[in-house]
A and B are shown apart, each in its own frame.
Chain A
Amino acid sequence: MSLPDCLRHTFSPEEIQFIVENELIKIFPRITTRQNIRSRNAGQRPNVKCQLITTNDHNVNNMVAMQSTEVALWLALLLKQQKKCSIVAPQWLTIKELESLIQFEKANSDRFSAMPWNWLVVAQLLFKRAPDDFHDPVHALRGKIQDLREIRQVKVLKGLRHLNESHLQLDNLSLLEINELRPSIIGIMDKLRQIHSAAHASGNSNTDDQQAEIADY
């Protein structure tokens, strides 16, 4: 068909990255795009203004060097590539904060800690593209992120035991984690549902039979 088989029911990790890159992130620009009134009046050089249609371009045209501002992540990465800004790591991407999240994960074996929905992707992107912008050493952060990922994977495996034909609650599971589980969970639950609905096709009409069966068990 027009869409490749592997993309028909799920996202590829690259598409997940694309979705995450639309989020806003804080940066320190190293360039000034704001036009002060004097130079505008002088009209010495014609300035090029960014006109974006998928994101708000107000911040882009009002950047002052070393004054923090918020832009979309894709734009931040582009600027970072040209050394025109440095990216401010989000609040949760610090050793201290990650340590407390790991503590929470270890203390509560039945739930996931409240990470942002894009934590894994943002962490990976920033580690690769902006490793010099962290206050904490990157290798330590990397280790903490890996710890968190492994703890959560163990919990996911534990949760798979409770798959059923009706529903599943996955609070605080991030988008990339859901995406890698999607084919297996959907496959299993869909088959369970087929078996269940085959057995209970006319089950709603004769509830007496069901009552009798429950009594038998």
Chain B
Amino acid sequence: MGYFDIEDVLADSVEVPCKFQFKMPGLGYLEGNPGRAIEKNSKLNLPLWLARILAIVGGGSDEDTEYEPEEPIPFVELLKPDFFATKFINSAKASPESLDVHSVNAYFYSLAVKWITLFEDKELASVVSEMLLARALEINNHAGSVNIVTSTTTTDSRLESHSVHFESANKNSQFLMTLDQFEKDLHRHAHDSYKQTKRWMVER
């Protein structure tokens, strides 16, 4: 996950629900009404690049409480987004292959890694890696099926050119519509590799 990685930049702009733990004067434009303050305990969705840093840095002690807490309270508290909600996690445990990850979030795995890093959530980590492995086997099966399509195009009346194409056997498979961005890249690279090898074996 590099600084200039486009996928990473897009994954960082996914919004997550947050709860403010302070009254923030002047930041009302985050809620959509500039010029006003954000009240304490107001909930709003912030992009992850903002929420992540606000959940770490704090504003000293809360003015309501008298005593000094040991750790400074951060500006916002991250609430669990719905793509890590129990409902989704349960369905991921039950049947990873039939899960529509793309509709849940297009950058699910990148977000999962970021979320796990923030909270050291070992349970989520084990669920996500089981799910990744199960789905990766399915992806590998889909990537490995390469069709040889021979088409004869009569461009010239005398010259018949035979062209050999190598295509995915399952172009409009239902499964391939459910892949998230990482899985799509994985599928594309794996498929290209199988295709090239098959092309080399058949031709020349």
Contacts and interface: CB of A to CB of B under 8 A. Distances in A.
B128 A195 contact: yes
Contact of B196 (A13, A196, A199): A13
Main SS of the interface on chain A? helix
A74 to B, nearest CB: 15
Contacts of B27: none
Contacts of A124: 200-201
B193 A10 contact: yes
Contacts of A78: none
Q: Max chain A CB contacts within 10 Å: which of B120, B124, B192?
A: B120
Contacts of B185: 187
Contacts of B116: 195, 198-199
Interface of A: 6, 10, 12-14, 17, 120, 124, 128, 157, 160-161, 163, 165, 176, 179-184, 187-188, 191-192, 194-196, 198-203, 213
A128 B203 CA distance: 10
A176 B141 CA distance: 18
B189 A195 contact: no
Contacts, number: 96
A70 to B, nearest CB: 25
A201 B117 contact: yes
Q: Max chain B CB contacts within 10 Å: which of A192, A196, A199?
A: A199
A127 to B, nearest CB: 10
Q: Max chain A CB contacts within 10 Å: which of B113, B121, B141?
A: B113
Interface string B122-144: 10111011001100110111010
A13 B125 contact: no
Given A17-B200, A160-B140, A188-B136, A183 B125 contact: no
Contacts of A128: 204
A183 B196 CA distance: 12
Contacts of A180: 193-194, 196-197
Measured as residues with beta carbon below 8 angstroms from the partner, the interface class of chain B is 35 or more
B186 interface: yes
Contacts of A157: 137, 140-141
A17 B197 CA distance: 11
B200 A195 contact: no
Given A17-B200, A157-B140, A188-B133, A195 B193 contact: no
B49 interface: no
Given A182-B193, A184-B143, A188-B136, A199 B125 contact: yes
B4 to A, nearest CB: 13
Contacts of B37: none
Contact of A192 (B121, B132, B201): B132
A41 B190 CA distance: 62
B109 interface: yes
Contacts of B117: 198, 201
Contacts of A181: 193
A120 B1 CA distance: 36
A124 B204 CA distance: 9
Nearest to B112: A195
A112 to B, nearest CB: 17
A165 B141 CA distance: 21
B200 A14 contact: yes
A100 B72 CA distance: 71
Contacts of B120: 198-203
A142 to B, nearest CB: 11
A192 B120 CA distance: 15
Contacts of A184: 136, 139-140, 143, 186, 189-190, 193
Contacts of B1: 194
A181 B186 CA distance: 12
